[in-house]
Structure 1
Amino acid sequence: MSTQPAHKIRIGVLQVTIWRNHSDKGNWYSVIPSRGYRQEETWKETDSLGFDDLLTMAKLFDLAHTWIMHQQAADAKARKESKQVVA
């Protein structure tokens, strides 16, 4: 995986982090959900969600899905254009 995420989407304390992965077949994407919480003076993250988090996380997954679909289309276009330049 890359050292920097490709994209992050946040609603309140909930977030999805999208990672771009590279292979010989092209890019593929993975999504990591998280919820921020405060423990004393320090902010931490967990992947544990409560009942009240579920619908908001579903919306974040929907937004991540849309973002990845657009990126995959852009990746395919770039691959096609680079093959045309080489040919």
Structure 2
Amino acid sequence: MANQPAQKFKIGLITATVWDNDGFYTVDLSRAYKSDTDEWRNTGSFHHSDLLNLAKCAERAEIWIGRQMNAR
């Protein structure tokens, strides 16, 4: 069974996925898009119009991680 993310934050097409690796947190940032075959996929490449949502998702992830670490 694959590991589950500790938390996800989504705004529009942008997602920040937080992973807990034994108390060391990492974050994957991605943008969803539809392929030519009409399937949803993700990329790590962002449009100019994505940057504000990218920053907000990253900020939410940073705040969440900080709270987890302060709770210890």
Native 8 Å contact 2:31 2:42 kept in 1: yes
Aligned partner of 2:21 in structure 1 is: 21
Higher helix share: 1
**Runs of 4+ in structure 1 over 4 Å off:** none
- Unaligned 5+ segments in structure 2 are none
The number of equivalent residue pairs is 70
Which has the higher relative contact order, 1 or 2, with Cα contacts under 8 A spaced 6 or more apart? 2
RMSD of Structure 2 on Structure 1 (CA): 1.1
Tell me the CA shift for residue 56 of structure 1: 1.2
- Unaligned 5+ segments in structure 1 are 77-87
| TM-score normalised by L of structure 2 | 0.91
Distance, in Å, in 1 between the alignment partners of 2:49 and 2:27 is 20
Rg: which structure is higher? 1
The one-letter code matched in structure 1 to 2:25 is Y
Tell me the CA shift for residue 73 of structure 1: 1.4
